[in-house]
Structure 1
Amino acid sequence: MEARALWLLLLVLALGSSGWAQEYIGLSASQCVVPPKDRVDCGYPQITERDCNNRGCCFDSRTPGVPWCFKPLQETECTF
């Protein structure tokens, strides 16, 4: 599990430094790193990026045939 988290962190850092990462209001960039096959639709046909983000969802139109407006990953808080 720790290796998976490390790879996700490296992916987010790489996307952020390359300019591919998008800004999401109220969401961290890591919450919107969802593989296209795992996206859960959060919008409607022809939704704009702004309307999608206003719903608290992520928007990425680079992959055809999958939801462009999708639910973010849920951040978990560890408590001991």
Structure 2
Amino acid sequence: MEVRTFWVLAVALAMGSYSAARDYVGLSANQCAVPAKDRVDCGYPEVTPEQCNNRGCCFDSSIPEVPWCFKPLQETECTF
């Protein structure tokens, strides 16, 4: 296996592991890039990532003591 191919594969696997805690089904990563202090709760205790996404919300359980299911940022499109 070529060294470059190996590193690309390693990075892809690492990113897949990292993103497992974050589920943004149907939402862009930009919409879910909400600072922890600005998160508006969108779920309820024990909400699953799937239930959260079904509500149109972002799920990120990587930061303790903040809402894990939260409202996404609204993407705005500039038109002139």
The alignment-based identity, stated in percent, is 70
Equivalent in the alignment of 1:72: 72
Gaps of at least 5 residues in structure 1 are 1-16
Q: TM-score, normalised by structure 2?
A: 0.71
Equivalent in the alignment of 2:58: 58
Q: What is the count of residue pairs matched by the alignment?
A: 64
Instruction: Please state how far the C-alpha of 1:55 moved relative to its aligned partner.
Output: 0.7
Structure with higher Rg: it is 2
Question: Superposed, which structure 2 residues align to 1:1-80 within 5 Å?
Answer: 19=15, 20-21=18-19, 22-80=22-80
Residues 46 and 23 (structure 1), Cα distance of their counterparts in 2 relative to 1, 3 Å cut: closer
Q: TM-score, normalised by structure 1?
A: 0.71
Misfit runs of 4+, over 2 Å: 20-23
Gaps of at least 5 residues in structure 2 are 1-11
SS at match of 1:59: strand
d(CA) in 2 for partners of 1:63, 1:30: 17
SS at match of 2:30: helix
